Amino acid sequence: MDFEERRLGAVTVRIDRTTCIGTANCAKIAPDLFVLDDEKIITFREPSPEIEPDRAVEACRVCPVDALAAFDADGRPIVP
Ligand code: SF4
Give yes or no for a contact between 59 and 30, defined as CB atoms under 8 angstroms apart: yes
pLDDT in tens, 5-20: 999 999 999 999 999 9
Measured by CA distance, the residue closest to atom 2 of ligand 1 is 63
**43 CB near ligand 1 (under 6 Å):** no
Domains belonging to the chain, first-starting first, are 3-75 (3.30.70.20)
Spatial CA neighbour of 23 closest among 32, 36, 33, 13: 36
**21 CB near ligand 1 (under 6 Å):** yes
pLDDT in tens, 31-71: 999 999 999 999 999 998 999 999 999 999 999 999 999 99
HSE, side-chain direction, 13 A CA sphere, residue 71: 11
The structure's pTM equals 0.96
> Ligand 1 centroid to 55 CA: how many Å?
15
How far, in Å, CA of 71 to CA of 80, rounded?
9
- Three-state SS annotation for 3-41: EEEEEECCEEEEEECCCCCCCCHHHHHCCCCEEECCCCC
For residues 68-78, average pLDDT? 97
Give yes or no for a contact between 42 and 35, defined as CB atoms under 8 angstroms apart: yes
